[in-house]
Structures are given as C-alpha cells and as structure tokens.
Amino acid sequence: MIVKFIARQLGAMELMEQLLMLPASKLSNFRGLYISLLLTSLLFSPAVHAQSGPFTGLAGSWVGNGSISLGNGTKERIRCRATYSVGADGNGLRQNLRCASDSYRFDLSSNVNYLAGQVSGMWSETSRNIGGTLIGSARAGLFQVIVTSPSFSANLSLTTQGDRQSVVVTAPPGGQLSGVSITLARAK
C-alpha cells in the first residue's frame, strides 16, 4: 500500500518537474529532495488508519480488586485480571476477565462490536459453562450493557478514565451472584 502511494507521488513529482522546466542535472537533486520529504512525512505523521472507536485505549492487561456479593448474602474480596484485545479501528473488543475470592471464581470472556453508539456481542463464563449475549450503549469511557443467558441476566457498567477502570455488575435477586464491584489499573 505504501509502495503504491509512493509511486503515485513520484508520478506527481514528474509532472511537477515538467511544469517547473528544470534542466536534467537539477532533476535528480529535486527528486532526492522530494523523496526525502515524502518519506519523512510518512514516518512522522499520524497513522492513516488510527484507532478511533470507543474501545481505543483499552488494549492490554489490567489488574485490580474489589468485592463480590453472593446470593446467600455473603460479601467477599476478589482479585482480578483483565486482558483486552482491540480491533484496528477501535470498534471491536475481545475481553478476558478472571477473578477469584476465597470461595468464588469466575472466568469471563466476551467478543463485542460497536456500531453507531451501540455495543453487542457474545459472552461466556467457562467455570460454570454458561454464555449468552450482551447489548447496550457506549460513549467515550462509559459502557453500559445488559448481559443475558437462559439462566442468568445482569446489568454491567464499565467506566474508564485514563489508566483506571471501574466495573460494576448488578444481578437480580435469587441467583448465585447478586453483584460485583471491581477497580482495575493498567498493568505496568
């Protein structure tokens, strides 16, 4: 792709050389200068296809802790690690979130896509062999989704500010899980 771009630019350069009516001895100097400027602009300009979607900036590993509220009324501290892989345009996200307490563990994976302010995708929790869909909204630094499966539903809110994240999950009463609150920081 870059080679085609440079070739087009060299064609434009030949046209400029003809318009400027430079003698043949000056053409090679002009061509060298033009190529140097072109390569410099390619190397030091922002990428043409830079990430711009709502998942931009999430890529990488995050670690932290929080608390989990179980359906039986107990509340425990949990430790978590999240890994995010973000698509080239910032509109796709693959997430793995692993958390554990003294008596509870979950291993959540999801694939999420963004389009026109909305997010949708699939999720799975491998330690309980359940999965389902998620749908919701996204804007800069805030994701609010509803996760559902045949046996589980919950509201999930993820807020990101710089290298900090807050994840809050609220489930209806009567299930094994009633809520999760996690604070994560970008792993160093």
- Residues 13-28 have a mean pLDDT of 46
Quickly state the pLDDT bin for 122 (edges 50, 70, 90): very high
- What is the reported pLDDT for 103? 85
Beta bridge partners of 164: 161, 185
CA distance 42 to 49: 13
**Residue of 114, 136, 109 lying closest to 56 (CA atoms):** 114
Quote the mean pLDDT of the chain.
Answer: 79
**Residue of 63, 129, 67 lying closest to 96 (CA atoms):** 63
CATH of the domain spanning 60-186: 2.40.128.20
- Residues 98-103 have a mean pLDDT of 90
Task: Pull the structure tokens for residue 112.
Answer: 């999420």
Which residue blocks in the chain are alpha helix, DSSP H? 2-20, 24-44
More confident: 94 or 103: 94
- Please state the length of the chain: 188
CA distance 108 to 55: 18
CA distance 147 to 168: 12
Taking only the tens place, the pLDDT of each residue in 47-79 is 334 558 999 889 999 999 999 998 889 999 999
Task: Pull the structure tokens for residue 1.
Answer: 């792709």
